[in-house]
Amino acid sequence: MPPIAHLECSRCKATVSAETPQTLCPQCKGALYVRYDLSTLRGIAARDDMIRQAATSPWPGMWRYSPVLPKAEPVTLGEGWTPMLRSRRRARVFLKEEGANPTGTFKARGLALAVTMARHYGLRKLAVPSAGNAAGALAAYAAAAGIEAHIFMPRDVPFANYVEAVAYGANVTLVNGLISDCGRIVAERKEKEGWFDVSTLKEPFRVEGKKTMGYELVEQLGWEYPDAVFYPTGGGVGLIGMWKAFAELEELGWVRPGRKPRMIAVQSSGCAPVARAFEQGANVSQMWDNAQTFAAGLRVPKPYGDSIMLEILRDSGGVAIALPDDRILDSLKDWARNEGIFLSPEGAAATASYDHLIESGFLKAEDRVVLFNTGAGLKYTDVTAEAMCLERPASGA
Ligand SMILES: Cc1ncc(COP(=O)(O)O)c(C=O)c1O
Ligand SMILES: [Zn+2]
């Protein structure tokens, strides 16, 4: 693992030391990126070394990319290196099955690294506002590391998120409101309580953990880019992390030369601040009123990283899409019946958007695409059952 050279502000490019825990850029409050000296890792020989070392490493999963992650002993539960499944019906469509992660979602990657670094820095109390799955992941990794987790999530999160967080021993507060209200509470209380805030993009390591999705999808496609990547977008950590990975892969010379994928941000019409801003040609999003969707992870009314995401979407030749929940549910059922895959509602937003962009002609059937199923459908039995109007039959019925 390389030592971190420094942290760099995504807005003003100021350099910040990584010797002590950092949150946002002290000058402009921009999100911070982790930067390394990658010069000794350039070329295919270093890439082959990485693969060889991964075969005998004590750290499984995403830690195969240790050469491009911070130098610290991992707090791991086996996250990453998730299956890249080929659709049975569409030869050029791949599904990245993030439901296979510990805690059942891709949030495991970011929180594994955030908690790894928290332990490295000696932090004792972490706090997070969450749409649900980040809470479950923080609770699990904090338990594994012996660190306190303070979690704030909407009262109506999928029940699994509440049950898992309580089971992992986190301090859980259910809030009458959305993730934005939870974020306000954490911001107000953190100083007095001595909490370190691991909110989306307000510390540098969740993006760094999620960047492993970008390395992984390129490696699993034979070190080649796909034509497009569909990403269910709430706060946008994965989108931003994957774009960082692609930039690093270019610098390392580990990816076959080619066009970077078009990045497709997928939202629900019930909460689509990024899609609306993209359509309007704006550089930032506006707060989405009355956010409502059964894709709970997409209920982020005003993402902190909106301007970074919008820039990535435009630079990549991508687009942001919002579809209504009934279209998302139809795609969920379609993939369950015809592919044997029980998607999360967020993942089904990606599969529905793929169909939409094929119909609109934005993509062609020959385009090789990766659709992210960011979570396991089984974490959502309550919300998906409600959307399907499904109730357990009474006995004898
Ligand atoms: C299953 C799932 N998919 C997608 C998202 C959105 O992720 P991000 O905030 O990284 O955009 C979330 C966030 O909670 C989620 O739980
Ligand atoms: Zn700055």
| C-alpha of residue 396 to centroid of ligand 1, in Å | 40
What's the CA gap between 114 and 2, in Å, rounded?
A: 17
- Under 8 Å between Cβ of 127 and 152: yes
Best mutation site among 101, 151, 332, 346 for ligand 1 pocket (most ligand atoms within 8 Å of CB): 346
Question: pTM of whole model > 0.95?
Answer: yes
Q: Of the bound ligands, which one is closest to the alpha carbon of residue 138?
A: 1
SS3 annotation, the chain: CCCCCEEEECCCCCEECCCCCCCCCCCCCCCEEEECCCHHHCCHHHHHHHHHHHHHCCCCHHHHHHHHCCCCCCCCCCCCCCCEEECCCCCCEEEEEHHHCHHHECHHHHHHHHHHHHHHHCCCEEEEECCCHHHHHHHHHHHHHCCEEEEEEECCCCHHHHHHHHHCCCEEEEECCCHHHHHHHHHHHHHHHCCEECCCCCCCHHHHHHCHHHHHHHHHCCCCCCCEEEEECCCCHHHHHHHHHHHHHHHHCCCCCCCCCEEEEEEECCECHHHHHHHHCCCCCCCCCCCCCCCHHHCCCCCCCHHHHHHHHHHCCCEEEEECHHHHHHHHHHHHHHHCCCECHHHHHHHHHHHHHHHHCCCCCCCCEEEEECEEHHHHHHHHHHHCCCCCCCCCC
Q: Provide the token pair at 394.
A: 């009474």
Nearest residue (by CA) to ligand 1, atom 16, is: 297
| pLDDT the model gives residue 395 | 85
Instruction: Please give the torsion angle defined by the CA atoms of residues 325, 373, 204 and 35, in that order, rounded to the nearest 10 degrees.
Output: -130
| C-alpha of residue 1 to centroid of ligand 1, in Å | 27
Provide the 10 A C-beta neighbour count for residue 78.
15
Whose CA is closest to 62, among 106, 5, 10, 16? Answer: 106
What's the CA gap between 106 and 97, in Å, rounded?
A: 9
Q: Provide the token pair at 10.
A: 């995504």
| pLDDT the model gives residue 3 | 83
- Under 8 Å between Cβ of 134 and 161: no
pLDDT in tens, the chain (397 residues): 678 999 999 999 999 999 999 999 999 999 999 999 999 999 999 999 999 999 999 999 999 999 999 999 999 999 999 999 999 999 999 999 999 999 999 999 999 999 999 999 999 999 999 999 999 999 999 999 999 999 999 999 999 999 999 999 999 999 999 999 999 999 999 999 999 999 999 999 999 999 999 999 999 999 999 999 999 999 999 999 999 999 999 999 999 999 999 999 999 999 999 999 999 999 999 999 999 999 999 999 999 999 999 999 999 999 999 999 999 999 999 999 999 999 999 999 999 999 999 999 999 999 999 999 999 999 999 999 999 999 999 887 5
Q: Of the bound ligands, which one is closest to the alpha carbon of residue 160?
A: 1
233 Cα nearest atom in ligand 1 = 11
Q: Provide the token pair at 386.
A: 């409600």
| C-alpha of residue 298 to centroid of ligand 1, in Å | 6
